[in-house]
Amino acid sequence: MFKQHATQLLQLMGLSGEVPSAILPEDISVALTRAREHPSLINCSKSDSKSAYNDNNVNLRTRAKPLFDLLERAKSQNCEVIWH
């Protein structure tokens, strides 16, 4: 994930966006809910993600999916997530 998108997603989750940093397992649910309910992700057009592959056309919701999946797995295993 590109730094600009990662920082934006972290900020949507209510995190600082600072690198390096981490999120603790007990904070993951709230962070995911904040991001998933944020208007910039809700209002992403689903059709954007089905366009021909072009890195500039990938919407933020599509870019967020791997991060959200990682956070869900970390939460289920009671693990923190660290980024740097």
Q: What is the pLDDT of residues 58-79, one digit of tens each?
A: 888 999 999 999 999 999 999 9
* Per-residue pLDDT band at 55 (split at 50, 70, 90): low
Mean pLDDT rounded to a whole number for the chain = 87
Residue 27 to residue 46: CA distance in whole angstroms: 28
- pTM equals 0.79
Contact 5, 67 (CB under 8 A): no
- Six-digit token string for 28: 């993951």
* Per-residue pLDDT band at 28 (split at 50, 70, 90): very high
Where do the structural domains in the chain lie, given as residue ranges? 3-83
What is the arithmetic mean of pLDDT over 30-51? 78
